[in-house]
Structure 1
């Protein structure tokens, strides 16, 4: 499974999955933890042009996954919650379908809120992922990217605290280890506030220290495995950075029209611990969707700005993506078609061609 596909889930699918708990299959009784089985069947065909490819060079992506969750009262004031979720079925790359690869944690909840420990989304990435990367905007908006200004995006082993709701305000914070760097940690949080019973505001941040970007390379020689030619290797210092990222955004329906808008701005910076050089990059996302009964249409645009570098060592350019998705909900099934175009391909790539046109056709079902 290509990492890009993680952020290409349709709006309708996510809407359906929010209610998946009501359809989950209960395995146990109250005495055995009320264990539920839930999951998603999701298969799509994906093709693209660019880099000497054409849209007929398609692949079949299988994002099917399954999970188990439950809860049980441990004492009068402590309810233990737990979840184990598999990765995607696809074995070519990312998850390999391993049980426990996706959100897998144990926690406690009560009047004090909820604490979870284990593999889970970071507060920052949870907001980036939804609603601001769908449909198919993640290749540009997801990774804060070309300057390696990455936060601890996606899932990581962490401790996360969800405070009790304060009216229309919800807050959560989390911390964990920041990759493979020595004594590296990260800390982040997110706040969501619903105003006027309609507009939802999002704000989130993340700070990481001693994040290892690359290893030290010693001078020497290597042999080309194809030609056998001897080539010199230039010595390079390892790169360790301190990172900071924030996002502000909103979701707003347009009354009585079936139309809603979501938009966000994200800024990230990385400071080289050794040189104190700072690379920074801004990015933004705008998404509009329209629903008429079971039929939905979603149009999204996201872009990153050129990287700004104190010592001009990073000359990476920004990228943009535009994507249109048509989808439906038919007896719980969600068929969809997505087409779009990416400038510079995103992900900090240096492509042979400046533009990529992509298309995806899929069917998903949550249970």
Structure 2
């Protein structure tokens, strides 16, 4: 939906000329699922309704400015099905701006973590990338991505949360907060259907009195040939204790995915496994069928089987408990 439609929607807004000049695009989706999980009631769920605006404009220097603001609605997730209205429970997924040109791209704000591209197994829906440790998006961040040279490109990002001052505790020990709370760096290679990437992230958010200094390495490889896709990624996440009562820990995550498309129908298979050093293995298998209905709409069905400790999850690594289940989804994009 290009700027002409957006202009109609905000015709009374004082910022209309600015939006028009920026060639703004309004976009979004409505996404519903019928979820049938073992030992649970059926749930007709909001699977992530989104609304966003993005655009670009040419600067006097010849560079291109860009921006994106994308929200997600969490309505109908709090037991209000019999009420006339429900809270939107609005969350922000993307809120960023930047500039790009022959030199590459610089982005500031909240945006997709450039390292997440290595998570090549995340191509499904309900429980896709269930054990992944790499953050999908990062906020309070500044990133640079290089142009591609012979198929290679690199990236680096820093995060600065702010909000605290240096202080001296009751024992006379001085504590100095870091300006940079985390960083990400990595490199990708893409050519002739082959993708390979490796990324590294380190973070310790002291303003939240985080008990861990976290280190994450992610490696992904995928290959696309005609209608077939296969990908695998590996992650190693290490948490080093930085406060009393916390203990060191690490987890290894493996994710393998394959899809094949026939006309407008895609069949997918996925296997995920997580090996925490202080708990049993977590395993999840998935099979799905996805059909493009045209007009921005699609429908799909997924069955997922959970084994081992996945039923209890692994809270130390942000992994929620999972159950065997079957999901049918319907989504309309605009």
Asked whether the two chains share a fold, i.e. TM above 0.5, the reply is yes
Structure 2 unmatched ranges of 5 or more: 8-16, 79-86, 165-176
Which residue pairs with 1:218 in the alignment?
A: none
Report the CA distance between 1:62 and its aligned residue.
4.0
What are the equivalent positions in structure 2 for 1:241-256 lying under 5 Å apart? 241-253=212-224, 255=225
Instruction: Name the stretch that deviates more: 323-332 or 24-33.
Output: 24-33
| Mapped pair 1:298 → 2:278 | no
| Mapped pair 1:108 → 2:104 | no
Distance 2:219 2:94 in 1: 25
Which residue pairs with 1:86 in the alignment?
A: 71
Report the CA distance between 1:261 and its aligned residue.
0.8
Change (3 A) 1:287 1:260: same
Which residue pairs with 1:317 in the alignment?
A: 280
Among candidates 38, 43, 48, match of residue 58 of structure 1:
43
**2:118–2:219 Cα contact (<8 Å) kept:** no
TM-score (norm 1): 0.71
Distance 2:107 2:90 in 1: 21
Let me know the Cα RMSD of the aligned residues: 3.1
What are the equivalent positions in structure 2 for 1:129-168 lying under 5 Å apart? 130-132=120-122, 134-138=124-128, 140-142=130-132, 144=133, 152-168=135-151
Distance 1:115 1:42 in 2: 31
SS in 1 for 2:130: helix
| Mapped pair 1:200 → 2:195 | yes
Q: Deviations over 1:204-251 (max 9, x none)?
A: 1101135577x6xxxxxxxxxxxxxxxxxxxxxxx6221111111111
Distance 1:62 1:179 in 2: 33
Distance 2:204 2:73 in 1: 31
**1:78–1:110 Cα contact (<8 Å) kept:** yes
SS in 2 for 1:342: strand
SS in 2 for 1:305: strand
Which residue pairs with 1:262 in the alignment?
A: 231
**2:121–2:270 Cα contact (<8 Å) kept:** no
Report the CA distance between 1:83 and its aligned residue.
1.3
| Mapped pair 1:188 → 2:184 | yes
| Mapped pair 1:356 → 2:323 | yes
Report the CA distance between 1:316 and its aligned residue.
2.7
TM-score (norm 2): 0.77
Structure 1 unmatched ranges of 5 or more: 1-22, 145-150, 216-238, 308-314
Change (3 A) 1:108 1:91: farther
Distance 1:302 1:24 in 2: 39
| Mapped pair 1:169 → 2:164 | no
Change (3 A) 1:330 1:153: closer
Distance 1:324 1:159 in 2: 37
| Mapped pair 1:70 → 2:55 | yes
Specify which structure has the bigger relative contact order, considering alpha-carbon pairs within 8 angstroms and separated by 6 or more residues: 1
Among candidates 43, 54, 63, match of residue 32 of structure 2:
43
**2:52–2:68 Cα contact (<8 Å) kept:** yes
**2:36–2:42 Cα contact (<8 Å) kept:** yes
Distance 2:293 2:29 in 1: 15
Which residue pairs with 1:340 in the alignment?
A: 304
